[in-house]
Amino acid sequence: MINVLQEGLETEINLGSQASWWKQLKTLTRRSFVNMCRDVGYYWLRIIIYIIVSICVGTIYFDVGYGYTSILARGACGAFISGFMTFMSIGGFPSFIEEMKVKKKLIQEMKLIIEVSNMSL
């Protein structure tokens, strides 16, 4: 909300988005995908690491068996994979913070444009 003082009257302008929820989702997903594809360390290196770890874990636990000890082995495998995925997801935070900075800057620019356009009335 922006309060605009115009000829002694104070009016409020709602800065809600004009685009639908689906359009916003599509645009932000496309923008994020382009940024990830351009960043070798974020996207391509992670895929290679995931493939290598998948092959390693698959060969280790290929023929684990059906006994009681295999239950522990499967639990250890699940714990390793969940821990590894959590560790790898931490690397995505810098890109998320960068997207949030861009969004904040765009909102500030939109507010400035609305204020300037209202002053010219």
Q: How many residues does the chain have?
A: 121
What share of the chain has pLDDT > 70, as a percent?
79
Q: Where are the domains of the chain?
A: 38-95
Give the amino acid at 88. M
Reported as a pLDDT band with limits 50, 70 and 90, residue 100 is confident
Amino acid 88: pLDDT: 79
Q: 45 falls in which pLDDT band (50, 70, 90)?
A: confident
Find the mean pLDDT for residues 90-100. Answer: 71
Which is more confident, 52 or 42?
A: 52
Residue 84 has what pLDDT? 86
In this prediction the pTM is: 0.49
Of the pLDDT bands very low, low, confident and very high (cuts 50, 70, 90), residue 55 is very high
Three-state secondary structure of 22-89 = HHHHHHHHHHHHHHHHHCHHHHHHHHHHHHHHHHHHHHHCCCCCCCHHHHHHHHHHHHHHHHHHHHHH
The DSSP 8-state label assigned to residue 99 in this structure reads H
- What local confidence, expressed as pLDDT, does residue 46 receive? 80
Q: What is the helix (H) or strand (E) element at residue 13, kind and residue range?
A: strand 9-13
Q: Which residue has the tokens 């290196």?
A: 45
Angle (CA) 14 109 118, round 5°: 55
9 pLDDT higher than 70: no
pLDDT of the residue at 58:
87
